[in-house]
């Protein structure tokens, strides 16, 4: 309970700071929609072919957009040595992990809520009825991205070229999440149900639970080493 109270306090602080600065959210929105327009002008394929490519293209956009958000994740703590102020306090480091993951998740969800319908509009896709299911799958993938991304963002926090290092460390580890999410979305788009996507969903859910638990347990070591 204490862990959740502390996480809420930190999350509240991060949201307040983001509302004032709007750095991360605006950059992510702009970059996400920009990528969609680049895809739109680059691919001249039929709508049915595009439906097959949609999950991979969408996740490419989410991956790059999310990495931008992750690079900014500890920005407020880097100023004025505020990370030291947090580490000095009696705060449970697991709460810091939960708050940062939750904050990045919120930003990603907001971006996805705009980018996904925009993708359907730009590529003239007809499967609007499947968007809620696809969004649920995307949500599971985004949780995985955010928890692993927060751990990696903390690991590279004190690195000199952290903006370059973060994607190099994160992307290979993201392969299971990417693969499972894209395959799952493809199946939902083809069949219209989750039935055939069950193994991928289990993989995604397992990944989320494992890395969420791992993050809470090891963040103490990660943030201080």
Partner 1 sequence: MRLTVKKLAKAYGFLWALKDLDLDLPPGSFVALLGPNGAGKTTLLKLLASLIMPTAGSIEFDGEPISRNAPKSRAQIGFMTPADHLYENLTVEENLRFFSALYKRHHSSSAIGAALEAIGLAPRAGESVGNLSSGMKCRLSIAKWQLLQPGLLLLDEPYGVLDGKGIDLLESFLQAHCAQGNLAIMASHHVSRALKLCNRAIILHQGRMSFDEAKQQPWPSFARAFSEFLPQGESWNS
CB of 223: closest distance to partner 1 in angstroms?
9
Chosen residue from 4, 16, 52, 199 binding partner 1 by CB under 8 A: 16
Chosen residue from 13, 40, 78, 162 binding partner 1 by CB under 8 A: 13
For residue 159, count other CB atoms closer than 10 A to its CB: 12
CB of 26: closest distance to partner 1 in angstroms?
15
Binding mask 51-80 for partner 1 (x = CB under 8 A): -------------------------x--xx
Does 85 sit near partner 1 (CB under 8 A)? yes
Binding mask 22-51 for partner 1 (x = CB under 8 A): ------------------------------
Nearest Cα to Cα of residue 60 among 147, 148, 164, 141 = 141
Chosen residue from 15, 56, 91, 131 binding partner 1 by CB under 8 A: 91
CB of 158: closest distance to partner 1 in angstroms?
12
106 touches 142 (CB < 8 A): no
| Number of residues this chain uses to bind partner 1 (CB under 8 A) | 23
Chosen residue from 42, 44, 89, 129 binding partner 1 by CB under 8 A: 89
162 touches 125 (CB < 8 A): no
113-172 residues near partner 1, rule: CB under 8 A = none
Residues 6+ apart with CB under 8 A from 72: 23, 24, 27
In the complex, the residues that contact partner 1 under the rule CB under 8 A are 6, 9, 13, 16-17, 20-21, 76, 79-82, 84-92, 220, 224
């Amino acid at each position: 309970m204490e862990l959740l109270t502390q996480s809420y306090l930190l999350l509240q602080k991060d949201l307040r700071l983001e509302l004032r600065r709007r750095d991360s959210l605006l950059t992510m929105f702009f970059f996400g929609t920009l990528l969609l327009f680049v895809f739109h002008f680059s691919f001249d394929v039929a709508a049915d072919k595009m439906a097959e490519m949609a999950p991979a293209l969408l996740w490419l956009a989410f991956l790059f957009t999310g990495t931008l958000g992750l690079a900014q994740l500890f920005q407020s703590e880097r100023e004025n040595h505020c990370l030291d102020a947090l580490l000095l306090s009696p705060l449970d480091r697991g709460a810091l992990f939960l708050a940062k993951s939750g904050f990045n998740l919120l930003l990603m969800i907001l971006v996805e809520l705009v980018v996904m319908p925009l993708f359907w509009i730009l590529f003239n896709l007809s499967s609007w009825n499947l968007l809620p299911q696809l969004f649920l799958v995307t949500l599971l993938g985004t949780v995985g991205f955010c928890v692993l991304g927060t751990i990696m963002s903390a690991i590279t926090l004190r690195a000199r070229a952290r903006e370059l290092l973060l994607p190099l460390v994160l992307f290979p580890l993201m392969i299971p999440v990417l693969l499972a999410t894209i395959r799952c979305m493809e199946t939902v788009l083809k069949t219209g149900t989750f039935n055939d996507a069950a193994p991928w969903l289990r993989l995604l859910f397992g990944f989320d639970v494992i890395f969420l638990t791992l993050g809470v347990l090891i963040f103490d070591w990660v943030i201080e080493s």
